[in-house]
Structure 1
Amino acid sequence: MAIHRFDPFRDALTLQNRLNSLFQDYNRGQNESDLVSTAAFVPPVDIYEDQHKIVLKLEVPGLKQEDFDIQLENNTLTVRGERKFEKEEKEENFHRIERRYGSFFRSFTVPTTVNHEGVKAGYDAGVLRIELEKRAEAKPKQIKVQVGSAAAVSKTVENKPAA
């Protein structure tokens, strides 16, 4: 177990850095064209791994298949998309708008054990599921251990002439 020195200001500094970057991003996007290019929302993601694959699940309800752009290049998985505001209703008739609209962008570094040819993506019930298959050499292998003279016994039985 590693011993870590307690730093009470580390979390405060992390929060301050995040707030500073948020305000810097806002100040950069002062004209209309910059505001369009920034991400409007960040969909939450679950990532898990088993012996054969790494799976990402992004929560992005209300999108269609053609709204996604998924790319894997140089061990970086990039997911882009856009949720458009339906203009069927007039905005002044809304009492509240809480859902996020606009473009989103997520980028993930994937390990070198991922097979770039074995990537699958599916979209169902508002969840985008991306499966990254692992290479065969990266998958764990079970090795059977023979104890004592079991290896010698099997050789003796094989070499014994049939009666």
Structure 2
Amino acid sequence: MIVRYQHPLSAFRQFDREFERLVRHGFGRGATRLSLRADVYTEGTDAVITVAVPGISSDDIAVTLEGRRLSITAERPERETAEGDRYLVRGFATGTFRREFTVPEGTDAEQISAEVAEGILTVRIADAVKPAPEARRIPIKGAGPAIEGEAEDKDE
């Protein structure tokens, strides 16, 4: 028998990939352009979200918690150009980027920390991963097997 371990947050990653694929298929590649790319994983009992925010200042990033919804918003302003300057190739999208995540029930803002370094925003949610409950066998009450007939004595 093969037993496979499935990480508790793997369903979120799969859902995220499928959602992005459906949006690209339904609305074209540009539809997901203003969505932040992210990884979600665990380190011990902490949940960690890393988000790519290249070229975006920490002053232009906001992390907010409202109920169970953690929102990350980043803004990349359009570069100012001098008169006569023009883009030959434009690879960086400008505008407001947003990504939302659902956090475990009971998470409060004091559990969440965020820092940005080298174009990566790291959001850590302390003690977000609870251990899986251990399976326990429950005893079943009831009478033992019923005996339909008694053994006859062969000496009689």
Residue 41 of structure 2 corresponds to 48
Residues 86 and 121 of structure 1: CA distance in aligned 2, closer, same or farther (over 3 Å): same
**Deviating runs (4+, > 4 A) in structure 1?**
14-17, 89-92
Residues 17 and 121 of structure 1: CA distance in aligned 2, closer, same or farther (over 3 Å): closer
CA distance in 2, matches of 1:47, 1:15: 15
Alignment equivalent of 1:85, drawn from 73, 78, 90: 78
CA distance in 2, matches of 1:102, 1:42: 11
Question: Conserved in 2, the CA contact under 8 Å of 1:113 and 1:134?
Answer: no
Length-normalised TM-score, structure 1: 0.57
Q: How many residues align?
A: 113
Compare the two structures and name the one with the higher helix fraction. Answer: 1
Task: Give the fraction of aligned pairs with identical amino acids, expressed as a percent.
Answer: 21
Structure 2: runs of 5+ lacking an equivalent: 3-18, 133-156
The one-letter amino acid paired with 1:69 is A
CA distance in 1, matches of 2:61, 2:46: 22
Question: Conserved in 2, the CA contact under 8 Å of 1:63 and 1:83?
Answer: yes
Question: Conserved in 2, the CA contact under 8 Å of 1:115 and 1:133?
Answer: no
Which stretch has the larger CA shift, 67-76 or 124-133? 67-76
CA distance in 1, matches of 2:125, 2:54: 22
Structure 1: runs of 5+ lacking an equivalent: 2-13, 27-38, 141-163
Question: Conserved in 2, the CA contact under 8 Å of 1:115 and 1:132?
Answer: no
Look at both structures and tell me which one has the larger radius of gyration over its CA atoms: 2
CA distance in 1, matches of 2:103, 2:51: 16
| Structure 1 residue 118: Cα displacement | 1.5
Report the RMSD for the aligned CA atoms in angstroms.
3.3
Question: Conserved in 2, the CA contact under 8 Å of 1:68 and 1:79?
Answer: yes
Alignment equivalent of 1:110, drawn from 94, 100, 103: 103
